[in-house]
Amino acid sequence: MRILITGGMGFIGSHLADAYLKKGDTVYVIDNLTTGSLSNIKHLRQNPLYDDRFFTIVEDILNYEKMEDLISRVDMVIHLAAAVGVQYIIDNPISSIITNVRGTEIVLEIANKYQKKVLITSTSEVYGKHTHAPLRETDDCVYGPSSRFRWSYAAGKFIDEFTALAYHKEKGLPVVVIRLFNTVGPRQTGRYGMVIPRFVKQALSGAPITVYGDGTQTRTFTHVKDVVKAIMLLMKENRAEGEVVNIGGREEISILSLAKKIKEMTESSSEIKFVPYDVAYPKDFEDMQRRVPSLEKLKSLIGYTPDTPLDDILYDVIEYFKRWEGIAW
């Protein structure tokens, strides 16, 4: 099988490339290195076993010709390239919208032209401001006003979902849409605001662990290897075509408890410091108070749900940062 992974030099994409290569497939990755990095795939490029079936292209997904050339060569496309991370979205509002909306349109348009199976990556952010749990794929999506830029990410990804489903409905394009909840693991950087790599890095270096707000907001976390497994199973399941599916973790934890747990696991002397939202984020920021997925649909489709316990996820991230002490981010 030949697979194109857009955003394949990013955190999730590089793990996915790893898994498909291990399976014996041919993998093309395209990435503009905005948040991705060549170091994420260095080990794959250096592996002689992959010499003739791993191809890396440093280019933007908005380059239509390049995308057409790549999509026409492969059997399926996994579209992960996106502007991600709350901080990045807020700092780069125009390019984020163009990458996330126009980029996905290009992928779908070309995949449709060549009738290639495609996976579109959406996000738990599309649920918006709910506090109930668990969040089901059929729930309403509730956003704040357009003056609050955080919601541009959710709105853009929501349009991506509609576009994907429209191609499925109108043209019969085999498309799967996933809503990823907070995903963590080795190679994720804290540079764009992601909480676990930030807390681990802070704890290991003795810097204050920065809890935003009062720390009562909650999340679940999924190990990237479980996300990769779920994606690969979904791509093999015909019943997933034309569906939107949550992929996320099960253990709900408050951000304050997370900070305490990381402090304990790293035996850190760091203080836990509360940072008000208006200091942590630009004006008019709104956080999501709670975000817990329903995994029923995922389970019914592939018979699997992410199962790595939070402690093991944290252990992996801590070990990664210890090995890469001094890593720049």
The two structure tokens encoding residue 92: 């780069």
* Paired sense of beta strands 222-223 and 183-184, if any: parallel
In 3D space, the residue among 287, 110, 280, 142 whose CA is nearest the CA of residue 208 turns out to be 280
CB of 281 to ligand UDP, least distance (A): 8
CB of 238 to ligand UDP, least distance (A): 31
Task: Decide if 7 contacts 13 (C-beta within 8 A).
Answer: yes
Choice between 38 and 327, CB closer to ligand UDP: 327
CB of 217 to ligand UDP, least distance (A): 4
Choice between 254 and 294, CB closer to ligand UDP: 254
In 3D space, the residue among 103, 195, 108, 96 whose CA is nearest the CA of residue 153 turns out to be 96
Tell the residue number behind the tokens 């399926």, with chain if given. 76
Q: What are the start-end ranges of the H helices in the chain?
A: 11-23, 42-45, 64-73, 86-91, 93-97, 103-113, 150-171, 195-205, 224-236, 255-265, 277-280, 296-302, 310-323
* Annotated active-site residue in 127, 153, 167, 192: 153
CB of 264 to ligand UDP, least distance (A): 17
Choice between 28 and 321, CB closer to ligand UDP: 321
| Chain residues in the site for ligand UDP (CB under 6 A) | 86, 182, 193-195, 198, 210-212, 217, 219, 255, 287
CA–CA gap between residue 131 and residue 81 (Å, rounded): 29
Tell the residue number behind the tokens 């994606």, with chain if given. 231
CB of 149 to ligand UDP, least distance (A): 13
192 part of the active site = no
Choice between 186 and 193, CB closer to ligand UDP: 193
Choice between 91 and 287, CB closer to ligand UDP: 287
Hey, what's the torsion of the CAs at 275, 200, 250, 83, to 10 degrees? 70
In 3D space, the residue among 254, 154, 261, 152 whose CA is nearest the CA of residue 213 turns out to be 254
Residues recognised as catalytic:
153
